[in-house]
Amino acid sequence: MSDHQDLVVVGAGLAGLAAAIRAAEDGLAVTVLEAGAEDAYLCNSRYTGGLFHIAMDDMAGDPAWVLDNLHRATHGETDPALAAALTRNARRTLDWLRRQGIRFIKAGPDGLRRNSLAPPGVRQTGLHWQGRAGDVMLRTLGERLARLGGQLHRGAAAGELILREGAVAGVIATIGGVRAEIPARAVVLADGGFQADMELMRRFISPAPEKLLMRNAGSGRGAGLRMAEAAGAALRGMDRFYGHIQYREALTDQRFWPYPVLDSLATAGLVVDGLGRRFCDEGLGGVYITNEIARLPDPAGAWIIFDAAIWQGPGTDWLLPANPYLLQAGGRLTTAATVPDLAAATGLPAAALAQTLADYNAAIAAGQPEAQGRSAARYKPWPILKAPFHAVPIAAGVTYTMGGIAIDAAARVLDGAGQPIPGLFAAGSCTGGLEGGSKAGYSGGLSKAAVFGLIAGETAAATLAASLARRA
């Protein structure tokens, strides 16, 4: 490792590599520390299906429209400055990635799939990442960093920031089992969320994180978050995550994750806990429902209830939907001719389930689903009236946590008073403020990582250049 480091980047996913490459383009000596030791180290950026979007739509569209769409998707709870920075820089970030050698294709007719990594990753049920989408992207970016003179050290686990006179001056890491101090003029934290750390998950997300499906690479352990917090950084929006509703057997069977997802069944039908009662507004979407499942005392006890009309209608919607992919993967529906028989087959309390269904259907028939706490603006509630009745056991699949280190629009890490911590920047899923809120609004993990990684690299380079100019 070189003795002189202008910038140390913690994490070699999309956010970290974007920051490192952009800073190297501006002439900085850059070192990236990646905890994973393998050549193809695992992280969410490698597992990704490769859909670059903002709020499930085209991130390269008119910035004003993209911003409005993001505000709608997050119910106005996104940080305005971060949202503006994301949408303002989205198109140029895609163009920049193309210049690094990243290939995009149009993988579908909608905005969600307009900018998809090639080769595409979302093609079949189960987990298949080798040689596709994110795997190719990370290999391409790693090669680009090397050509620019940047260093990528695998098996290098950062654990502490070096502080001098209130400014960040490097990182302490464990490399090959040896503790090493790595001085640097600035640090970018970009090691992902905390979804794989059970202590933090229990603290912020779920009373029983061991009953959640880790729909992720298992690499996001919150190291950067802890380092930043110890250096005085503020944290934001820690109680929400991005994920999807999964078949419960995915907890023990890789055939069923990351796809198919069961969101479209849940947003048309109803979701009940182990007591046969509704516990959330299904009309707020799959990401929100998944978060509410995680908050249950028993997150592995929930079910989706629906009928044949839902199965044949909304059940066929979205990417690799439940119908037919759940059955093709080896899953099954619990089916009965009557509601009491369905309760018996699922083990749900018969009286409670019957009452829940009766109340739900009555509210829909009266044109007042809101009376039962069911919004209808985004997803139409379907009545569940005609046999056969179906149920499917579900689990909350966690992809990445939405909250984290507080940053400003320039990717500078902020302290508790809202002031930048000198020499410290952050990007990607280790940061908070853009997503989450009371309704778990989702902006998009790849867009967040790429845009703010790019910004972090640019800001770090500009800040160091300005510092040198002042000394001259």
Q: What is the DSSP string of 411-441?
A: -EEEBTTSPEEEEEEE-GGGEESSSBTTTTB
Q: Please give the Cα distance from 396 to 259 (Å, whole number).
A: 13
Q: Is the pLDDT of residue 405 over 70?
A: yes
pLDDT value, residue 1: 60
Please name the residues in contact with 174: beta carbons below 8 A apart, sequence gap of 6 or more.
156, 157, 159, 180
Segment 7-12 shows an average pLDDT of 99
pLDDT value, residue 3: 61
Q: Is the pLDDT of residue 202 over 80?
A: yes
pLDDT value, residue 466: 86
pLDDT value, residue 128: 81
pLDDT value, residue 130: 84
Q: Please give the Cα distance from 117 to 105 (Å, whole number).
A: 6
Confidence band of 279 (pLDDT split at 50, 70, 90): very high
Segment 217-222 shows an average pLDDT of 97
What values do phi and psi take at 89, rounded to 5?
A: -105, 5
pLDDT value, residue 149: 98
Cis peptide bond upstream of 260, omega within 30: yes
pLDDT value, residue 471: 67
What values do phi and psi take at 107, rounded to 5?
A: -95, 0
pLDDT value, residue 131: 87
Identify whether the C-beta of residue 401 lies closer than 8 Å to the C-beta of residue 431.
no
pLDDT value, residue 407: 99
Segment 282-310 shows an average pLDDT of 98
Q: Please give the Cα distance from 391 to 409 (Å, whole number).
A: 45
Q: Is the pLDDT of residue 2 over 60?
A: no
Percent of the chain at pLDDT > 90 equals 93
Q: In angstroms, what is the C-alpha Rg of the chain?
A: 23
Q: What are 65's two structure tokens?
A: 């429209």
Residue intervals in the chain for CATH 3.50.50.60: 7-238+402-471
In 274-403, where do the E strands start and end? 303-307, 334-336, 389-401
Confidence band of 439 (pLDDT split at 50, 70, 90): very high
* Whole-number Cα distances in Å, 198 to 41, 210, 292: 21, 7, 18
Segment 129-145 shows an average pLDDT of 95
Segment 191-214 shows an average pLDDT of 98
pLDDT value, residue 223: 98
Confidence band of 125 (pLDDT split at 50, 70, 90): confident
Segment 11-35 shows an average pLDDT of 99
Cis peptide bond upstream of 258, omega within 30: yes
pLDDT value, residue 458: 99
Q: Please give the Cα distance from 10 to 463 (Å, whole number).
A: 18
* Whole-number Cα distances in Å, 34 to 152, 189, 199, 278, 403: 7, 11, 22, 43, 21
Q: What is the CATH number of domain 7-238+402-471?
A: 3.50.50.60
- The C-alpha angle with vertex 369 and arms to 368 and 375, in degrees rounded to 5, equals 120
Q: Is the pLDDT of residue 413 over 60?
A: yes
Average pLDDT value for the chain: 96
Segment 244-252 shows an average pLDDT of 98
Confidence band of 233 (pLDDT split at 50, 70, 90): very high
- Tokens 């579900």 belong to which residue? 394
Confidence band of 319 (pLDDT split at 50, 70, 90): confident
Confidence band of 472 (pLDDT split at 50, 70, 90): low
Q: Is the pLDDT of residue 298 over 90?
A: yes
Residue intervals in the chain for CATH 3.90.700.10: 244-398
Pick 244-398's CATH classification: 3.90.700.10, 3.40.630.30, 3.30.2350.10, 1.10.10.10.
3.90.700.10
Percent of the chain at pLDDT > 70 equals 98
